[in-house]
Structure 1
Amino acid sequence: MTSRTSLVATSATLALAGSLTSLTALTSAPATAAPAPLAVPSLVEPILIGHRGASGYRPEHTLAAYELAIEQGADYIEPDLVSTRDGVLVARHENEIGGTTDVADHPEFADRRTTKTIDGRSVTGWFTEDFTYKELRTLRAEERLPQVRPDNTAYDGQERIPTLDEVIKLARREGVGIYPETKHPTYFDSIGLSLEEPLVAALEKRHWDDADDPVIIQSFETANLRDLDTMVDVPLAQLVDASGKPYDFTAAGDPRTYTDLLTPAGLAWIATYAEGVGVNKDRVLPRTGGATTVPSAVVGDAHEQGLIVHVWTLRRENQFMATNFRIGTDPNAPGDLAAEARAFLDAGVDGIFSDNPDLVAQVLDAG
């Protein structure tokens, strides 16, 4: 456990109070008012989130990946959540599991392969909502990026797909927080498998649903976060991608985009239901000619509304970095992740998602 971990509970304790303060500032403060206090003021030291666990070293979203992230100094571990046919929330980055499990090697499930429209896109494969929890437990996790991370394939076939409850129990036992993301919430609502109710129920079951508990819920969509704001007291974070728009906006005919959400007016709207934003790293350090330039206004504008800013995703391989952080020309070789992390910390972010928590932890520990 790192020194940062002791800050997790304190950070969450003040979430709702800080949120109310920021909302008051939005409605009553003059244009020249001082920045609102952050909704989750974890600024003594920024937090480190193990992105899908330590997914740079183990197949993602496995208990082994989460355990390694904790060993490497993560303050939070991130389970992305999808549903089984019988309503059990499990940790997968998307509901199609052909690329991250051995399902293709199970002849008994060959007839489950199908094509669906998910968030407006045609996707072919095997989907969690077509399996019961018991059936899903017969599968084993595999590395998503075997060509990029061949060492990780040594762990293929060793781990089951974990449930949300298993992740909560692990985090509580090890003294870290969880940062769950609801995946495809509009789609799951459309098939009668809402994610929000079982998520809240799982938190309540483990008594981890209060404002002072180390839990932050995130989503790329907005409607489900606004619903969750009425259902649970833990902090919420609005995810913002580098382009496009929330799928619930698309479904509702709302013309706003992610770029609109990062304007001062958009951030003020987010502050009415969330305590933070989780932004694609290119939103904080834009690129010109492949290299990062000066920081954008996003961090400062979000802080003005009392919102914390967490950035994703820092990965050690060159291909995932701006050119000024790369070392050599091999896209799969390690770049200078420490320099990249320092650049984002210098830009003022309050937390970093990384596939390689150990490398970011070294930077955070160095101060």
Structure 2
Amino acid sequence: MQPDLARHPLVIGHRGAPGYRPEHTRSAYELAFALGADAVEPDLVATRDGVLVLRHENEISGTTDVASRPEFAARRTTREIDGKPLTGWFTEDFTWAELATLRSRERLGSLRHASASFDGRYPIIRLRELFELIDRAADEQRRMLRMVAEFKHAAHFDALGLPLDELFAAELGAAGWGSGDERLIMEAFEPTLLDRLGVRGIRGRRVFLIENSGSPWDLVLAAGRRAPRYDDFVTERGLRGLSGRFDGVSVGTPRLVGAPPARSSDATGSPLRGAALVEAAHGAGLEVYTWTLRPENRFLTAKRRRGTTRSGYGDWAAEFAEVLATGVDGVFVDHPDLGVEARADFARSAE
């Protein structure tokens, strides 16, 4: 295997390659690496019997065929997730053996007809299967491949007696990844969970996910209305406060794309945007990742859209280049080949 080439920025297959195959399926992850991704990002949620499975959310009616399965009709319920009521079917109400009978569906199928054409073909997979897939793909391609593990709704699962950090540590050991290494990046919207991963001695970069609005739910549970907002963490002071605690931050593209001209500081304490945010984070010793680069008009800024269909591709290359120009260290993409191409084009333009 070749040593890590430290490609910059990392191109991360967001839930695999959902632009082409239903997200979080074995096929989506295999295709992501075949298309040149440096890493893939699974979302982790737990089953009733403590198995970590790969789903966008613990509510699975939009990503599986569970709603059409009469044997599970009685499992439909309403739960409070991060302070909001949600009705559907939840992973924590199923054993792994039961979930293994379901088939995956593309979550954005109304936009991605090609991906949705594979609905019903692939089962849900567990985290342990992804570890095996990454090891095998790395051997076949003779290069280092990474996992960017995102932990979903940690406080919710804590309350159910399903601590995600504990379950993850056990999965690492069972997969032969020990306590983690440079192949592993861990991210969460709840900083408490990231702290606990560090206390457990799990090695790998820990990255704080920054939503576009609101506050981290674990901090709301602890402090109520006094909880800091996500915006507070992307000021210069906020970023310095994360220095030494975490290894990076990950922000949505709206914090980077279409931003005003970069400034090296913001004396008002307002949230930083664009290259100014990246510069300040780097100054605090933090890496910066961004999610999610997508080519469809539905996800592009207005000036990059082409035509009238939401599913049509706009000027994605220009938008991707604008993001890369901020100096980010990693980009999440639904179409890994487009991310690899954009990175290569940007590198050539910088020569």
Q: Which residue of structure 2 aligns with residue 241 of structure 1? A: 211
Give distance in 2, aligned partners of 1:142 and 1:128.
15
Q: Tell me which amino acid in the other structure corresponds to 1:124.
A: T
1:29-79 deviations in Å (ceiling 9; x for gaps): xxxxxxxxxxxxx5x521000001101111111111111111111101011
Q: Which residue of structure 2 aligns with residue 145 of structure 1? A: 108
Using the size of structure 1 for normalisation, the TM-score is 0.85
Q: Which residue of structure 2 aligns with residue 301 of structure 1? A: 280
Q: Which residue of structure 2 aligns with residue 178 of structure 1? A: 147
Relative to structure 1, the CA distance from residue 67 to residue 233 in structure 2 (aligned partners, 3 Å threshold; closer, same or farther) is same
Q: Which residue of structure 1 aligns with residue 71 of structure 2? A: 108
- The higher-RCO structure (CA 8 Å, 6+ apart) is 1
Relative to structure 1, the CA distance from residue 363 to residue 243 in structure 2 (aligned partners, 3 Å threshold; closer, same or farther) is same
1:6, distance to aligned residue in structure 2 (A): 5.0
CA contact (8 A) 1:223 1:248 kept: yes
CA contact (8 A) 2:182 2:203 kept: no
Q: Which residue of structure 1 aligns with residue 54 of structure 2? A: 91
Relative to structure 1, the CA distance from residue 311 to residue 209 in structure 2 (aligned partners, 3 Å threshold; closer, same or farther) is farther
Give distance in 1, aligned partners of 2:8 and 2:241.
27
Relative to structure 1, the CA distance from residue 211 to residue 84 in structure 2 (aligned partners, 3 Å threshold; closer, same or farther) is closer
CA contact (8 A) 1:211 1:235 kept: no
Correspondence 1:210-289 to 2 at 5 A: 212-231=181-200, 232-253=202-223, 254-286=226-258
Relative to structure 1, the CA distance from residue 133 to residue 251 in structure 2 (aligned partners, 3 Å threshold; closer, same or farther) is same
Give distance in 1, aligned partners of 2:46 and 2:323.
34
1:324, distance to aligned residue in structure 2 (A): 2.1
Give distance in 1, aligned partners of 2:19 and 2:220.
33
Of 16, 23, 44, the residue aligned with 1:60 is 23
Give distance in 2, aligned partners of 1:357 and 1:322.
20
Q: Tell me which amino acid in the other structure corresponds to 1:137.
A: A
| Count of equivalent residues | 325
1:72-100 deviations in Å (ceiling 9; x for gaps): 11101011000000000000010000010
Q: Tell me which amino acid in the other structure corresponds to 1:59.
A: P
Q: Which residue of structure 2 aligns with residue 156 of structure 1? A: 119
Give distance in 2, aligned partners of 1:6 and 1:283.
33
Relative to structure 1, the CA distance from residue 209 to residue 365 in structure 2 (aligned partners, 3 Å threshold; closer, same or farther) is farther
Give distance in 1, aligned partners of 2:72 and 2:194.
34
**Secondary structure class of the residue paired with 2:321:** helix
Q: Tell me which amino acid in the other structure corresponds to 1:86.
A: D
Give distance in 2, aligned partners of 1:260 and 1:221.
14
Relative to structure 1, the CA distance from residue 296 to residue 347 in structure 2 (aligned partners, 3 Å threshold; closer, same or farther) is closer
Unaligned stretches of 5+ in structure 1?
Answer: 9-41, 289-293
Q: What is the root-mean-square deviation of aligned Cα atoms in Å?
A: 1.7
Percent of pairs identical after alignment? 46
Q: Which residue of structure 2 aligns with residue 7 of structure 1? A: 4
Q: Tell me which amino acid in the other structure corresponds to 1:199.
A: F
Task: Show structure 1 runs of 4+ deviating over 3 A.
Answer: 5-8, 209-212
Give distance in 2, aligned partners of 1:273 and 1:208.
23
**Secondary structure class of the residue paired with 1:58:** coil
Single out whichever of 61-70 and 150-159 deviates more from structure 2: 150-159
Q: Which residue of structure 1 aligns with residue 269 of structure 2? A: none
CA contact (8 A) 1:285 1:296 kept: no
